[in-house]
Structure 1
Amino acid sequence: MRKLASIREISAIHPIPGADRIEVAQVDGWECVVQKGEFQVGQHIVYVEVDSIVPDVPEFEFLRPRKFRVRTIKLRGQVSQGLVLPLSILPDGAPCDLGDDVTEVLHITKYDPEAQQEAMLTKQPKQPTNPIVKYLMRFQWFRKLFAKPKRKGGFPDWIVKTDETRIQNLPVLFETERDKGTKFSVTEKMDGQSATYFLHRLSKRKFEFGVCSRNIRLGEPDNSSYWMVAKKYDIENVLKSIIGVHQTVVLQGEICGNQIQGNKYHIGGYELFAFNLIFPDHKCNTHEIADILSPFGIKTVPILEDGKVLPQTIAELVEYSKGKSTVRKEQKREGVVMRNMERNISFKVINPDFLLAEKD
C-alpha cells in the first residue's frame, strides 16, 4: 500500500531567489516550499505526498481552500510538491522512526477519482418497485436472467496491478541506475483510466476471458468504458489469436475518451493505448507490443525515446518530463514512464506543469 504520509529526512535546504520568508526543503526526490528557518538539514519530519486528502482538523485548516487536498503548487516561481510537517504533528505513541508509515495515524486518504468511478461499477442494482418484477424476483431463473451483479470478484491475484512508482520516491534506485548508465525506453504517460484484459486457458479449446478496471474485475458485459473497449477491439478474440501455447496472456492499457479525466485528448468514443502485454515467461517491450497488436488496430502508448540514460539529478529528469502530448499537441503531457525490460525496472515521472494546470 502506498505511503501517503511517512517519516523522512530533509537532505538539503535551498534558498528561493527573491523570497525572504520561504525556502525549499529537499525530501528524497521531492522539493517542498517551507517557512524559512523552520527546518534543518538532517531533521526527521513527516512528509505528506501530493494527492493526499488530510482530515478536516485545525492542524490542516490552511488547506480548506483546496478542499484539504495536497496539490502541486508554485510559490515565487518555485514548484512545491507535498507537505513537510514537524514530528510534533503526530499523536503520542505514534511510530516515528525513519521510513515509518503514518498515513493511518494521521487519517490521511488518497485523492483517487478513478476509484470513485470504480465504486459506481460495483453498486448492486436497486430493489425493484414494480409489483410484477418483485414477484418474479422470487424465482431463480428470473434472477439469473435479469438481476446479475456487475461485479464478478476481486482483481485476479496472479496479475500485477498497474501503478508505477514516482521517481521522487526512488532516490537510491535513481542514483544506482544513473551511475551504471542504464538505458531506458521512454513512453508518454496517458491521462485516462487503467484497464486490464486477460485470457486464461482452461483446456485445449476453452478459455476464461476477464475484464478489469484498475482494482476490480467486472463480471457481466455492460456499457462501461472497459467493456465497450473490449467489444470495440474484439479483445477476447485478439488474445485468443496471440496466446499461442501459453497458459495466460494479459493486456493492460489506458482508456482515454468521453468523460474520462475531462477527455483532454478530444477523443471521440474510447481508445485504448496499450502499455503491457504479459505472457507467463516474458513481458513484451513497447515496440514488441506494437508489432503484435497493430494488425488488430490497437495502439500503444506513444514511444518518445529509446536508449535514454538518466541525468545527474531527479530535478533534471522532472524537467525532461515536461512537454506537449503527442496525441494532442495543444495538451500538456501528464509525464513519462521509463522502463528497462532486461532488469525489470520501471517508474513514472510526472510533469509538474500538467499538475499545476489541473482543475478539480
Structure 2
Amino acid sequence: MSTHAVTVVEVGEVRPHPNAERLDIVAVGPWQVVVKRGEFVRGQRAVYVEPDYVVPTTRPEFAFLAKAGKDKHRLKAVRLRGELSFGLLLPLPPEISDAPVGTNVMETLGIARYEPPAGKAGTFADEMAHDRWPSTHAPKFDLENYNHFPSIITPGEHIVCTEKVHGANARYVYIDGEFFMGSRNRWVKQDGNHIWTRAAANNPNIEKWCRTYEGMVLYGEIYGAVQSLKYGLDKDVRFTGFAAVHHGVWLRQPVLFPSLADFDVPHVPIIYSGPFDIDRIKEIAEQDSVIAETPGHMMEGVVIVPSKERYHSLIGRVALKYISNRYWLSNA
C-alpha cells in the first residue's frame, strides 16, 4: 500500500539559482525546490510537501497560494526561471518547531493527498453489495515512488521497466463460477455502465484468460477516455494488464506477459529489461508513450520491477514508479 506523508526534512545542498539572483535551489532528498534567496541553509529542519498534495490556504503558511472562492490548493511541479521546482518547502510552523526529522505532520497541518475526481470511471452506485464480493485475496494495488525508496533496488540488479499508463486501476477474476470486475478499492456490478464493463466488453479475452486461470486476480489499467492523458483515445477505453496474484503470490512478469499475449490480452509495454541504472531510467521516462495510438504523447512515467519477484520489509512486493518530468510539468 502506498504511503502518503508530509514530513519534517533536513535541508540538503543549497545553491544559487543560475538565472535569478533572488532565488535559491534546495535539495530535499532526490527532489529540488526553488525558494527565496537566503530562506534556508543546509542542515536546517523544514517541512517538505511533494507535488500532488492539497494544502489548506486558510493556514498562514499557505495563504499566498489562495485563489478566489477556494480554500485549498493542489501543489504541482513548475519551472521557475528555467529550473524545475517540485512541491513546497516551508519553515517549521510554531506548533511543530521541535519536531524531529522524519515526523509526519500531514494531519497536523491539514494537508491531504490529491485524489482525482471520479469522472467517467464510475460512481458508488456502481459498487457491488459487499456480501457479493469475491471470496479471494485481491489486495489494493498501489506503487511507491522511487524517490521515497531509492535504495531498495540496487544498481546492477536485473529489472523489467514498463510504461506507467495513466488511467484507472482495474481488477478482474473468475471464481466460484462468476466473473468479477473491480477498481482499486471496490468490486463493481457487472452490468453497470462504467469503464470496467466497457473495457471487458471491448476485449472478451480478458474473461477468457480469467476463466482459464480461475482464482487468479488480473490487475491492469483502463486508459483512454479516463484521465488527462488519453493516448489518442478520446472516446474509447482499453485495458492493459500489468500484474496478477494468486493466494498472495505474485506471478512473475516473464510468465504473466506471455500468458496474456496467448489470449490477445494486451500488457503494459516493456521499455527496458536489464541491469538497473537510475540515470538510464530517468532518460527512458521522458520518452514518448509506447501505448499511445499516435506519436507525440508523453509517458506518465515507468514502473520498475525486479526480474525475480521479491519482497521488502518497508513496501512489501518490490515495484516502484518513477514519474517523468514531462508529466509533472503537464499538470502545472
TM over 0.5: yes
Greater C-alpha radius of gyration: 1
Task: Write 1 or 2 for the structure with the bigger share of helix.
Answer: 1
Q: TM-score, normalised by structure 2?
A: 0.84
Question: For 1:88-127, what aligned pairs fall within 5 Å after superposition?
Answer: 88=93, 91=95, 96-114=99-117, 121-123=123-125
How far does the alpha carbon of each residue in 1:275-314 deviate from its partner, in whole angstroms, 9 at most, with x for none?
1022237423334322111232210011101013224x6x
Assess if the C-alpha contact under 8 Å between 1:193 and 1:255 holds in 2. yes
Question: CA–CA distance in 1 between the matches of 2:100 and 2:178?
Answer: 46
- Residues 196 and 324 of structure 1, relative CA distance in 2, 3 Å threshold: same
1:307 aligns with 2:274: yes
Within a 5 Å distance, the mapping from 1:164-313 to structure 2 comes to: 164-173=143-152, 177-178=154-155, 181-200=156-175, 206-234=176-204, 235-243=206-214, 248-261=215-228, 263-266=230-233, 269-280=236-247, 282-311=249-278
Unaligned runs of 5+ in 1: 124-148, 201-205
2:127 to 108, 128, 150: 150
Give the structure 1 partner of residue 86 of structure 2.
81
> CA 1:278/1:351 → structure 2, altered by over 3 Å: closer, same or farther?
same
**Which of 321, 330, 333 is equivalent to 2:285?**
321
Matches of 2:139 and 2:22, distance apart in 1: 45
RMSD: 2.7
| Distance change >3 Å, CA 330–CA 283, structure 1 → 2 | same
| SS of match in other structure, 2:130 | strand
Report the Cα distance in structure 1 between the residues aligned to 2:240 and 2:234, rounded to whole angstroms. Answer: 12
**Number of matched residues?**
315
CA contact (8 A) 1:150 1:220 kept: no
Deviation of 1:327 (Å): 2.3
Q: Is the 8 A contact 1:197 1:210 kept in 2?
A: yes
Higher relative contact order (CA 8 A, sep 6+): 2
Unmatched tracts of structure 2, length 5 or more: 312-317
Q: Secondary structure at the match of 2:66?
A: helix
1:349 to partner: Cα distance: 0.7
Q: Which residue of 1 aligns with 2:51?
A: 50
Match of 2:322 in 1: 349
Which has the larger displacement, 3-12 or 101-110?
A: 3-12
1:13-28 mapped onto 2 (5 Å cutoff): 13-28=14-29
TM-score, normalised to structure 1, is 0.78
